[in-house]
Amino acid sequence: MGRFLSALLLAAACFYIASLYENPGIALLGCVQLILTALSFGYLLYERKGLQIALDMLPLMTDQKEPICLRVRAGYRYRGCYGRIRVQAAVSREGGGRARRQWLSEEDIARGTILQAGQAGQRRLTGLLSVAEPGGYEVRLRKARIYDMTGLFCMDCRRAVRTESAILAVLPKICPMGIQLSEAVRNFAGDAEVYDSLRSGSDASETLKLRPFRDGDKLRNIHWKLSAKADELLVRENSMPRGCPVAVLVETSGGAPEARLQCVASLSFCLMDRECPHYVAWYGGDAKDLVRARVDDEESYYEALLHLVRERSPGNMPDIRERYREKYSGEPLLYCIRVGDGPSLQVDGREILCLKASALERELGELELLL
C-alpha cells in the first residue's frame, strides 16, 4: 500500500502546485496520476479476489548450498491479463525453530499471459530458494505480492496463499577421503541376508551360479536334475553372505552438527564407493533408541542419509558404543567407527583425529584411514 500512498501524495502535490501557480498542465498531470492510481488499485483488487496460490512441487532432497527449484501454482477464478507475482517463502528447521523468510528469485514463465475462457486459469511460477546448512527443513509459503501490468503498483495478499508446508532434506557436501580396506574387510562374510553377486562362498542355501563340472569339484555340488536336462554335468556354486565389517556410530547431540553430518556422509560414501557394506547407527529422537541402517549401494546410502539429516537430538542418552554392543551383541564386527562431538573420529575406542569445523574439507581430504 505504500506505493499507492506515494502516488496519492504525488497527485496532491501536483494539485497544490497547480493552484499555487495557476498552471492547468500540472493539474492535468495530477488528474492522470490519480486516475492511473485508481485503475491500478481496482485492477489489483479484481485480481486478488479470485487468486489462489499454493506449492506445486518441492524436491524431496537437495545438496548443501545448491539452489532449490521451487514451483508455485497460481490459480485465477476469472480470465484476464495479469501482471507479475512475487512469493515469499518461510524456511525453518523441522520440528521447530525460527523461520527465515526469503523472497523467491522468480522466473515467471507466464508473465502477462491472457487467460482465455475455458482454460483452467492457472499459471506456474518457478523460483530459486537457497539453504546453507544441511538438515531437515520445513518450507511453506507465507505471502504473495501481485503487481499491475505497469509494474509500478503492487498489493500484498496473504489470504490467497495456502500455508501447507512441505519437508525438504538438505544433504551435506561429500568430501573425498583416503580409506584403504584390508583383505579381512574385503573378504568379511558374517551372517547376512545379502549375498555377494561375484564371489562364491560356503552358504548352500543360496546359489550364485551354475557352471560345467571341473576336476576337483565335489559330487555333492552337482545339480543332477539340470545336468540330466542339459546332458552335461553342472555344478552349483554356493553364495557368500555379505556381512557388514564396519559400523559407523553417529552422535546426534553436541556441538557442530553440520560438520558432524558432513563427516558421516563423506565417510559412509567412501566406504560405499569402495564396495564395503556397513551400518550407520544413531539415536533416534522419536524412537528414543538406537536406529540402524545398512548401506550397500547409492540407494541405501541416500535413504540412510535422508533419515539421519532429519533426525532431532534426543537429549542425554547412554553411550552409543556400549548401547550398540548391547543391542547387537551376537553380530560379528571388525571395526566400530564413532563420529562424535567436534567432530572427532574414533576407531574401536581410540581417537584418531579431532577435526576442525572451519577446515573440515581439507582435513578430511588429508585423512588416511586403514581398515
- Residue 59's CATH number: 2.60.40
Q: Is 165 within a domain?
A: yes
Q: Is residue 80 part of a domain?
A: yes
Residue 18 falls inside a structural domain: no
Residue 208 counted as domain residue: yes
Give me the helices (H) in the chain, please.
Answer: 2-21, 24-49, 183-186, 224-230, 257-273, 298-309, 320-327, 360-366
Domain count, the chain: 3
Apex CA 309: angle with CA 286 and CA 351, to 5°? 100
Q: What is the Cα–Cα distance from 248 to 321, expressed in whole angstroms?
A: 10
Same domain for 152 and 59: yes
pLDDT of residue 191: 59
- Residue 272: domain span: 178-182+244-370
Mean pLDDT taken over the chain: 76
Same domain (yes/no): 167, 224: no
The list of the chain residues with pLDDT below 70 reads 1, 78-80, 95, 105-121, 189-210, 217-224, 236-242, 254-256, 285-287, 314-315, 357
Residue 351 identity (one-letter amino acid): E
Kind of pairing between the strands at 246-250 and 278-283: parallel
Q: Are 142 and 163 in the same domain?
A: yes
Residues 260, 279 within the same domain: yes
Question: In the listed set 110, 137, 171, which residue is the last one of a domain according to the structure?
Answer: 171
Among the candidates 224, 241, 258, a domain finishes at 241
Residue 75 CA to residue 124 CA, distance in Å, equals: 9
Q: Cis peptide leading into 343, omega within 30 of 0? A: yes
Cell numbers linked to 147: 503487481
Residues 75 and 136 in one domain: yes
Whether residues 234 and 344 fall in one domain: no
118 phi, psi to nearest 5 deg: 95, -15
Give one DSSP letter per residue of 297-341, joined into a string. Answer: SHHHHHHHHHHHHTPPP--S---HHHHHHHHTTTS--SEEEEEET
Cell numbers that stand for 266 in this block: 563423506
Decide if 13 is inside a domain: no
DSSP string, 68-93: EEEEEEEEESS-EE---EEEEEEEEE
Whether 235 and 284 map to the same domain: the answer is no
Q: Is residue 1 part of a domain?
A: no
Same-domain pairing of 233 and 253: no
Model pLDDT, residue 255: 65
The verdict on residue 329 lying in a domain is yes
Instruction: Specify whether 60 is located in the same domain as 166.
Output: yes
pLDDT at residue 111, rounded to an integer: 40
Same domain, 237 and 249: no
Residues 237 and 251 in one domain: no
Cell numbers that stand for 200 in this block: 562364491
Residues 205 and 140 in one domain: no
